[in-house]
């Protein structure tokens, strides 16, 4: 059994030119944790998700949240207006500028073991891409795996 047998091919994606604001609205409307970002040719570019939104609304978000020696900035006293103000700065920018590229991806022929372990490690949906063209062909989520697991019980 391979990754392709459990992946979801009914995809919701956004193009690289979609605005950040529109993408956030899509996440909110569908309660998605993240959404794949693709090029005009359908190539997988990365993910844009709730974590990215939280980072963009926090002070120097991406820098402090992901790396660097200063991970604790509790000396700042933000209110909701401060968070909205930071997000407003990027609201009309294309999502390509904030796409998270360092995400794992799977190939359709990857084994089920590899797929399950990757999901356990990432704790998020994983894009399934064609190894030659990088075209997005599906998504695997832990819900897909749970559905398959519970069917057999």
From 43, 47, 19, select the one nearest 141 (Cα to Cα): 47
State which of positions 73-112 bind another protein (CB under 8 A).
Answer: 73-77, 82
Query: Closer CB to another protein, residue 70 or residue 80?
Result: 70
Q: Which two tokens stand for residue 58?
A: 């926090």
Say how many CA atoms lie within 13 Å of 140 toward its Cβ: 31
For another protein (CB under 8 A), the number of binding residues is 16
* Binding piece for another protein, criterion CB under 8 A, among 65-73, 120-128, 131-139, 140-148: 65-73
Binding letters toward another protein, positions 129-148, x by CB under 8 A: --------------------
Could you give the CA distance from residue 90 to residue 144 in angstroms, rounded to a whole number? 33
Compute the radius of gyration of the chain from its Cα atoms.
Answer: 17
Binding interface with another protein (CB under 8 A): 59-60, 62-64, 67-70, 72-77, 82
């Amino acid at each position: 059994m391979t990754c392709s047998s459990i992946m979801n091919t009914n995809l919701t994606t956004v193009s690289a030119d979609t605005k950040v604001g529109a993408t956030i609205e899509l996440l909110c409307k569908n309660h998605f944790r993240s959404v794949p970002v693709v090029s005009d040719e359908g190539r997988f570019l990365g993910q844009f998700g709730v974590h990215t939104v939280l980072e963009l609304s926090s002070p120097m978000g991406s820098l402090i949240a992901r790396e660097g020696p200063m991970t604790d900035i509790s000396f700042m006293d933000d209110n909701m207006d401060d968070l909205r103000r930071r997000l407003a700065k990027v609201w009309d920018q294309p999502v390509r500028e904030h796409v998270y590229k360092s995400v794992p991806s799977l190939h359709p022929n990857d084994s089920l073991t590899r797929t399950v372990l990757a999901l356990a490690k990432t704790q998020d949906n994983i894009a399934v891409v064609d190894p030659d063209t990088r075209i997005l062909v599906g998504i695997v989520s832990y819900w897909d795996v749970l559905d398959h697991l519970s069917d057999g019980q």
